[in-house]
Structure 1
């Protein structure tokens, strides 16, 4: 860990909001010349506790992940569940939604530091937290509680 507010400078993921995750996944796989990864429906079973703007939501979303040499590229297709993903697609259309940093065992502690820095928590689940930083940085920051 270093002395940044984030506790790291390691970007582990870049995520894009798309209207059609199958199309985006297949096109990106074609571009890279690799097999398309499996598309999953996250939180369809409700096992993750998701909060959006302080309110509980099921937070279902369709995802695919490309594990690159130096980072993970994620494609996200929102469902109708209230979420930062749906709000992004509804207000901005497809595009880069967030960049993610590892925050193993210190996700909410780091989110609190970022809130004090002026980047409020907008959505979180058991293993992730998004902070609103688009006015200053042009993108949302995600903290991932992963190794």
Structure 2
């Protein structure tokens, strides 16, 4: 059985933080790794971010650590409405999501919504798209779907 996502290979753990510079340095020191470059998510016109069904200008600072088969993502959100900001305000710093790479993002979103897991936030990034599904009540964490454009011949957004 392949489950709802078509695979069970976790690719990322996302952690919300108030101070990405401080926390990324702490992770680098703890694991003896280089501190990663901190990036900022794309502007709304590029990212096309939607939160709870409406557009948002929300952005976040991101830092990524490659930890073997898993990637650790640190996220410091701005103060615009987003899953990141609301979760940080309600729960404080800590794990926000676990992520899985999927194929057929729209179908996976519809399937999960049909099972009672609503779409919380979605957007685009260079080379793909993401969607946060509200699985917290059942799974105690938000689930992120990642779909990458590996095959440019099928990329309709180019």
Query: Which TM-score tier does this pair reach, normalised by the shorter chain?
Result: over 0.9
Q: Hey, what's the Cα distance between the residues in 2 that align with 1:27 and 1:3?
A: 37
Matched residue pairs, number? 145
CA 1:46/1:103 → structure 2, altered by over 3 Å: closer, same or farther? same
Number of the residue aligned with 1:42: 41
Structure 1 unaligned spans of 5+ = none
- 2:43, 2:28 → 1: CA distance? 25
**SS state at 1:125 partner:** strand
Tell me the SS of whatever aligns to 1:108: helix
Q: Does 1:21 align with 2:20?
A: yes
Q: Secondary structure at the match of 2:27?
A: helix
Q: Which runs of 4+ in 1 moved over 6 A?
A: none
Tell me whether 1:75 sits opposite 2:85 in the alignment.
no
Q: Structure 2 length as normaliser, TM-score?
A: 0.88
The 1:27–1:46 alpha-carbon spacing in structure 2 relative to 1, beyond 3 Å, is farther
Q: The residue matched to 1:38 in structure 2 has which SS?
A: coil
Consecutive unaligned residues of structure 2, counting only runs of 5 or more, are 151-158
Equivalents in 1 of 2:6, 2:58: separation in Å? 27
Which residue does 1:94 correspond to in 2?
93
RMSD: 1.3
Q: 1:120 to 1:45 in 2, by over 3 A?
A: closer
Q: What secondary structure does 1:119 align onto? A: coil
SS in structure 1 opposite 2:47? coil
